A and B are shown apart, each in its own frame.
Chain A
Amino acid sequence: MSRALDLAEEALRATEGDEAEAVVHAERSGVARFAGSVVHQPTLIDNAVVRLRVVRDGKLGWAATNKVEAGGLAELARRAAEAAESARPDPDFPGLAPRAEYPKVPGYDEETAALGAEDQARLAATAIEAVPDFELYGYFTSGVTEIALASTTGLRADQAVTDAVCICLAAVEGASGWAEQTSWEAAGVDTAAAAREAAEVAARTRGAGELEPGTYRAVLEPCAVAELLRWFSYDSLGAHGFLEDRSYFCGRIGERAFDPKVSIADDALDGDNLPKAFDFEGTPKQRVDLVEEGVIRGVVWDRLTAARAGDGQVSTGHAPPDAWRFQGPLPTALTLGPGEAGSTEELTALVGDGIHVTRLHYLSVVDPREGVLTGMTRDGTFRIRDGELAEPLVNLRFTVSLADVLREIPGLGRELKLVNLNDLYDERFPYAALVPALATARFHITGTGSGPGL
């Protein structure tokens, strides 16, 4: 039994007869953040948080602490019980999750778990030294995250996962390029290669020009695709948005809304993503098809939202970590199915005349019900002319309906890339999207901003 599960059981014992569930979220990690080719914001974290949910007569109360000695856990139990006592009964509460068998998934690598501060600094240095002609900005991080659950239903769940991420912005004044690599095995992250790829993009961005606003055909690189899906998911792919009429999917289940080449799923069991065996209620993970060949199929659920939905809906295994509880269940292993294009150049040829987007910046939801998002392109925006990559462009403001972007897809890449989506807020919870580059017939540009570079 792991230390995390031990701790969960210890917290459960402190509850003294209440129906309860204890979740331990532990992290040992290091971030070697660099700017101007110098490490400037290094952060090493070693912490374990216990969250206790107590149920009294159908009333729920939560409390959390990182004071994990006996006295701390007793106080935790007291505060959770006090919260439950003060609450009102929730008629939709389906009870705590029952015992379950969990799928065997990969996702833990001993070598990655063993990386220490000096290793993280060394891997950052490898990236920096690979691009002497550019200043490098970004980070290398690796860590171990342990999630364990124990509840009075007899449920016991326990998983340790590793992750390693290198993000690289190669930049000087007037030029910048982006690349990143993510894996649950540090050996799968080549920090020097990521830096060189960023520098190659950056070298092509000098002398960026303006672009007239309008609707353009576009190639979106995997980082841009993942970011669009992430922001679309907040309102449209989770149960809260669906139940509360904010989702684009409301009233459209079964409708062919997108190009038949578009299939979107959430699949935490996929070893090419960052695999998970269960969610934060202890429900086993499963693949959930959200869009199949352009047809809208559904959203993701946890136990409470499924109970509220009725109609036999059950949890899909998407109860979120504590920090996201307010947002409800959300996909954390999005995947967009591949296409036939063997390279980005093939997609560029399919676009013919349009724009090429490497990465997006600062997205915001303008109209959730219609899936309208705004944001900027950055660090590798180019014109496409005559089916080939042409001159660099300044950063472009886009305001798009994602449905419009996905309605006509000339092509998708054959190769899927794992794109990190964890911004490292709160307790570490590694998650990513596995997506290809794609070509779209419509990407609406509504303005221009600053140029590439510093």
Chain B
Amino acid sequence: MKALAEAAVDAALGAGASYADARTVLLRRQFVITKNGQVDDLSDSESEGIGVRVLVNGAWGFAGEGRLDEAAAREAALRATTFARAAPGHHETSLAPVDAQSGEYRTPVERDPFAVPLSEKIDLCLRAEEGMRQPDVKVTLAMVRAQREHKVLISSEGTAVEQELVECGGGIDAYASAEGITQIRSYPSQHSGVSGQGGWEFVEGLSLDKEAPRVGEQAAALLRADECPSGRATIVLSPEQVVMQVHESVGHPTELDRIYGTEAAYAGTSFLSPDDLGSLRYGSDRMNVTSDATTPNGLGTFGFDDEGVPARREPIVEEGVLRGFLTSRETAARIGAGEGGSMRADGWSRMPLVRMTNLHLEPSEGSLEDLLAEVDDGLYLETNKSWSIDDKRLNFQFGTQIAWEIKKGKLGRMLRDATYTGKTPVFWGKLDAVAGPDAWQLFGLTNCGKGQPGQEAHVSHGAAPARFRDVEVGVSA
């Protein structure tokens, strides 16, 4: 693999590139999905190829090639340089200087998820499904997955790194329906469950089968729950919902390529500007957000990003003030600070983009019960169901699968179809409590979309329950 990548870089330089890097990627993915007691999907896919990125006269070129031989690698390099040379516009790309890196990184794995028999995975899914069955539960679904990505990065600046990232995960869903109402409950998350880097021990730690009865019972109970009322309320969010809030309203807006407009036509830009760094009040002084590509079990954990920049931990928001952006070498050079470290590509056929790695809301103190105790009348919202945010990441609306009234510091009746809405810095300004480290949980999501052609990044977020005052709730059609 290393020799192929070196050949591609040599070919690109020979064709006039001032900079080139090449990534060879071998990717294997396995899914086991059961639904209503049947095996719904049992698939095992692999993909290999090389992605060659070049700079010619300041313009980027990129070509991906699925054949892994030297001729194909060189051909991809030439196609990338041809494209860069033909690229319209005035180009002034420069890259923040980074020391050439060499080394290896491998995810610590106790039990190789690909060595676990498929029959064991199926049994786990069917057991979890069985646990969710209730009279009104019409659909039960269980899923486990595993992924291994081996990649080598070679650059014309002397970087040569090799990494093997292993991840796995799982989740369960119960759909209940009766009399024209359909409700869903999921665990640990609606978004294809939760994944983390590590071996099969990560999936075992999710205890899907043990949580299943609660999930099924709550799905059925939601059919008879009252609708969430409309108005303004103090809300307490579960950690899984907090991470969605962090992802959409902190992660994406702090991607510096978006701030410079490169996603404007698709995912949008950001309400932030480069000048806001160090001065913009993002939220209350309880808000501390950190980007950390070293988090154990994080899906955004690596030794080096896809530009060869070593993993790092950096503050994004400190006591409510914007302190950092997620950057590439190009955007770091443009803003004149940092050296990148957040460049990630979806496989070999996509160009690296600025992506979240692991982005956390730092814990404070106390427990969920402590947060609830200081609410006289409010709502506790759990497990994301719907999510939408505007193109500058200001106006958002989220729905959750389940909610409960909070009355005099205690959880009361169950509510369905809960939604809340707000504008990002105003909402974060209403954060008045975050629970402590014991309540902090890590969630890995595999469906973060960005770029054209589209790329899905796997990212993790950690959060503890958090409380926000005076929030608009109960938005309806």
Contacts and interface: CB of A to CB of B under 8 A. Distances in A.
- Are A and B bound to each other? yes
Interface of A: 30-49, 51, 59-67, 79-80, 82-84, 86-88, 90-92, 117-118, 120-122, 124-125, 128-129, 135, 137-139, 141, 167-169, 171, 176, 244-246, 251, 322, 325-326, 361-370, 372, 374-376, 378, 395, 397, 399-401, 404, 423-426, 444, 446-450, 454
B378 interface: no
A399 B60 contact: no
A367 to B, nearest CB: 6
Contacts of A86: 42, 117-119, 122
B395 A42 contact: no
A35 B264 contact: yes
Interface in B39-83: 39, 41-49, 59-66, 76, 79-80, 82-83
B388 interface: yes
Contacts of B451: 41
Given A117-B86, A122-B86, 14 more contacts: A37-B88, A42-B87, A64-B44, A66-B66, A84-B42, A86-B117, A118-B82, A118-B86, A362-B388, A362-B389, A366-B386, A374-B397, A423-B266, A425-B454
Contact of A395 (B66, B86, B395): B395
Given A121-B83, A376-B388, A397-B390, A43 B64 contact: yes
A61 B88 contact: no
Interface string B390-409: 11101101010000000000
Contacts of A47: 49, 64-66, 349
B182 interface: yes
A65 to B, nearest CB: 5
A427 to B, nearest CB: 9
B377 to A, nearest CB: 23
A34 B59 CA distance: 11
Interface in B163-215: 175, 177, 180-182
B39 A369 contact: no
Contact of A450 (B87, B271, B388): B271
B273 to A, nearest CB: 10
A448 B90 contact: no
Contact of A39 (B89, B180, B263): B89
B394 A83 contact: no
B47 A361 contact: no
Contacts of B449: 423, 425
B84 interface: yes
A121 B43 CA distance: 38
Contacts of B90: 38
Q: Which 3 A-B pairs have the closest CB atoms?
A: A449-B395, A125-B88, A38-B89
Contacts of B66: 46-48, 66
B388 A42 contact: no
A66 B477 contact: no
Nearest to B259: A454
Contacts of A139: 265, 452
Given A62-B44, A251-B180, A444-B477, A137 B261 contact: yes
Contacts of B63: 43-46, 117
B386 A87 contact: no
Contact of A83 (B44, B48, B82): B44
B198 to A, nearest CB: 23
A90 B39 CA distance: 7
B159 interface: no
A39 B265 contact: no
Contacts of A129: 88
Nearest to B63: A44
Nearest to B423: A449
A43 B39 contact: no
B477 A43 contact: no
B456 interface: yes
Q: Which of B138, B264, B269, B353 has the most C-beta atoms of chain A within 10 angstroms of its own C-beta?
A: B264
A41 B175 CA distance: 41
Contacts of A63: 43-45
Contact of A361 (B84, B268, B453): B268
Contacts of A363: 388
B391 A376 contact: yes
A202 to B, nearest CB: 12
A217 B87 CA distance: 44
Given A246-B175, A404-B477, A423-B449, A361 B349 contact: no
A363 B449 CA distance: 13
Interface in B19-49: 33, 38-39, 41-49
Contacts of A176: 264
B62 A83 contact: no
A121 B122 contact: no
B349 A45 contact: yes
A38 B87 CA distance: 8
B33 A326 contact: yes
B150 to A, nearest CB: 14
B455 interface: yes
Interface in B454-477: 454-456, 475-477
B428 to A, nearest CB: 16
A262 to B, nearest CB: 18
27 contacts: A33-B452, A34-B89, A42-B84, A43-B350, A46-B63, A62-B42, A63-B44, A82-B44, A83-B44, A84-B42, A87-B39, A117-B82, A118-B83, A124-B88, A125-B88, A137-B265, A171-B261, A176-B264, A244-B139, A365-B386, A366-B386, A366-B417, A372-B476, A374-B386, A395-B390, A404-B477, A454-B269
A88 B349 contact: no
Contacts of A447: 395, 397, 421, 475
Contact of B65 (A36, A46, A82, A395): A46
A107 B452 CA distance: 23
Nearest to A397: B395
B394 A450 contact: yes
Contact of A454 (B42, B264, B417, B455): B264
Contacts of A62: 41-45
Given A376-B388, A395-B390, A425 B455 contact: yes
A112 B142 CA distance: 43
B331 to A, nearest CB: 11
B49 A66 contact: yes
A167 B148 CA distance: 35
A44 B330 CA distance: 21
Contacts of A378: 268, 390-391
B390 A43 contact: no
